[in-house]
Structure 1
Amino acid sequence: MADFLARLDATARRIETPCGEGRMAWRLWGDADAPPLVLLHGGSGSWRHWARNIGPLSRDRLVVCPDLPGLGDSAMPPPAETPAPVAAILLAGLADLLPGRSYDLCGFSFGALLAGHLAAQADGRLRSVTLVGAGALGLPRQIAPLKKVRSETGEARLAAHRHNLATLMFADAGRIDAPALEIQEANTMAARFRSRGFASTTSLKDAIARARAPVALLYGERDAIAFPEIERRFAALREVQPEAWTGLVPGAGHWVAYEAAESFNAILTDMLARRFAPA
């Protein structure tokens, strides 16, 4: 693991909550009394998807990052036909971690799908929900052909990771650095829960329609799962959340929070400050 990832992990406060027959791992950074911001990572990922965001965001927020059920250090959830029961595990965990406190929620890719289902179940303590690189809005997902990694070793394995990041996660392959490859390897090794089957459904759209908190939707301008029809996704969201805020990060791909971290952090921070200021 890259030195900065190891240092970031070492500075986290780790808490566990129930998940299926085991435990769910949560990491927290920042002032315990600051307004909480909950970050949900993407499919086949872990808290490391937010590696370039945790430091800047935790200057003013209590940043809360779980490893989603069946991913990273967290146990598998019970079998479920929809993401709703998995979101319920997250909601119960947040009730343990942040008893009685309001919080903002931001989810990336599969984390966006779970954020929508969590928002559908949440009470008034959820102040806002931001969806990043979201699928499951009822539109076809663009096909991104990925290489199998598990049987590869050495340079071939590294090349497969680089190919997959360039194909799905980054708009500019030149921005794929050593930490990104190490994050991809760590995430792949720990991933057990398979989420891709949800991406072409209406699951997020149906769930987020029931959200009472303000909703926002962000994409990297060249997001591989949405380009070139990002405006159709904005329109699909507005069918169920007419007041939703939408935005693009120029020149970035699906993993926008890493590839264009400085722009993403600024946009998210500004949006939360202007639209969802703490009471």
Structure 2
Amino acid sequence: MSLSQDGGHGLPGAPFASLEASARRITTASDHGDLVWRLWGDGPPLLLLHGAHGAWSHWICNIEALSQHYTVIAPDLPGCGESAPPPREENETIVALLAQGLREISPERLPVDVVGFSFGGVIAAFLAICQSDVVRRLILLDTGGLDTPRGDYPIRRMKGLEGNERREAVRANLQSMMLADPARADDLAVDLQLLNVPRCKLDVAPLVLPDRLLRILPEIPVPVSWIWGEKDRLHPDPALQAEAIRSVIADFGFHVVPDGGHWIMYERPQEVNRLLLDLLAQPARS
């Protein structure tokens, strides 16, 4: 394991650069390459798992608030961001690498609370099942894999686009798929997409769809809650999502954020941060 103060890798811009510069950047090694982790704060450990084609920066609007109360641990998932790809594209392999890294980073502070967004929520569930010693509770945000109908939304093709045309296509796709409020597809959101998406080395869809999460929900050994954006277009209709979950498990929390889209913690950070802190303050059931 190696530890350093992050020196501002990646894109410029005050929010990103400031947060990245304040991180404790850690790498954990495996036979298949390094995983890159970033840590902030000093408190009980809280693991944040980003979504598909993302990186730690999916949580850019949440880390500061959460790190006032927790040691926030935000990895680039295997095959995403700066982390090396897994030897096999299997959820079980990915969570084994994460658990190995957690045991190295914070062996005396396990298990940890885990918050997972979208694809990261599916990974969080597999982590709780396959590596149960490292997970205390799950909070999942707008997860796929529940065998519910996907939304219908237009996507602009990126092939051959450069410069401002490419930026505006990314913005349009964020507005169509990820964010309910068009104004939240701001320059920072576009910059993050342009940085993160090309670095993803995973074929994510088979790891999630159609029902990779639904099938394993009854096996989760820890308390689990969901947060869902009311206007999520990727996985629409929170009531339908809750019904799918209820078809296989009875005991779970489900909270809807009004007017929020899929990337809920970026679009509605104040509401999500407050809800996360409230949920995390509750005793985890044994």
For this structure pair, what is the TM-score category when the shorter chain's length is used for normalisation?
over 0.9
Structure 1 equivalent of residue 96 of structure 2 = 88
1:56 counterpart (59, 62, 65):
65
Q: Distance in 2 between matches of 1:20 and 1:42?
A: 25
TM-score, normalised with respect to structure 1 = 0.92
Shift of 1:19: 4.9
For 1:180-195, list aligned pairs within 5 A.
180-195=189-204
From 142, 150, 165, the counterpart of 1:133: 142
Query: Residue 248 of structure 1: which of 253, 256, 266 is its match?
Result: 256
Structure 1 equivalent of residue 15 of structure 2: 4
Partner of 2:268: 260
**Is residue 178–residue 234 contact of structure 2 (8 Å, CA) maintained in 1?**
no
Q: Aligned partners of 2:231 and 2:164: how far apart in 1?
A: 28
Match for residue 18 of structure 1? 29
Counterpart CA distance in 1 for 2:250 and 2:274 is 24
Shift of 1:124: 4.6
Structure 1: 5+ residue stretches without partners: none
In structure 2, relative to structure 1, the CA distance for the partners of 1:19 and 1:220 (3 Å cut) is farther
Identity %: 36
* Structure 1 position 163 matched with structure 2 position 172: yes
Alignment-mate amino acid for residue 41 of structure 2:
G
From 45, 51, 71, give the equivalent of 1:36. 45
Which whole-Å CA distance do the structure 1 matches of 2:181 and 2:283 have between them?
Answer: 31
The Cα of 1:231 is off from its aligned counterpart by: 1.4
Q: How many residues are aligned here?
A: 274
The answer to whether the aligner puts 1:179 opposite 2:188 as a matched pair is yes
2:87 counterpart SS class: coil
* Residue type of the alignment partner of 2:266: Y
* 1:26-65 alpha-carbon deviations (Å, 9 max, x no partner): 000001xx11110000000000100000000000000000
Q: Is the 8 A contact 1:48 1:183 kept in 2?
A: yes
With structure 2 as the length reference, what TM-score do the two structures score?
0.90
**Partner of 1:271 in structure 2?**
279
Conservation of the 8 A alpha-carbon contact between 2:55 and 2:76:
yes
CA deviations 1:149-207 (Å, max 9, x no partner) are 35321111111110110011100112222211111111123222121234432211222
- Please identify, of 178-187 and 231-240, the stretch whose mean Cα deviation from structure 2 is larger: 231-240
| Alpha-carbon distance change, 114 to 74 in structure 1, aligned in 2, over 3 angstroms | same
Q: How do 1:218-229 and structure 2 match up within 5 A?
A: 218-228=227-237
175-184 vs 244-253, greater mean Cα deviation: 175-184
Offset from partner CA, 1:231-266 (integer Å, 9 cap, x none): 121122233331100011110100000000000000
* Bigger relative contact order, structure 1 or 2 (CA pairs below 8 A, ≥6 apart): 1
Among residues 202, 211, 214, which one is paired with 1:202 in the alignment? 211
Matches within 5 A, 1:45-124: 45-80=54-89, 82-101=90-109, 102-124=111-133
CA RMSD of aligned residues (A): 1.8
Aligned equivalents of 1:197, 1:254: Cα separation in 2: 19
Amino acid at match of 1:250: P
**SS in structure 1 of the partner of residue 221 of structure 2:** coil
Q: Distance in 1 between matches of 2:242 and 2:30?
A: 33
Return 5+ residue gaps in structure 2 as ranges. 1-11
Please, which moves more after superposition, 242-251 or 125-134? 125-134
Q: Hey, what's the Cα distance between the residues in 2 that align with 1:98 and 1:275?
A: 21
Write the distance in 2 (CA, Å) between the matches of 1:29 and 1:168: 30
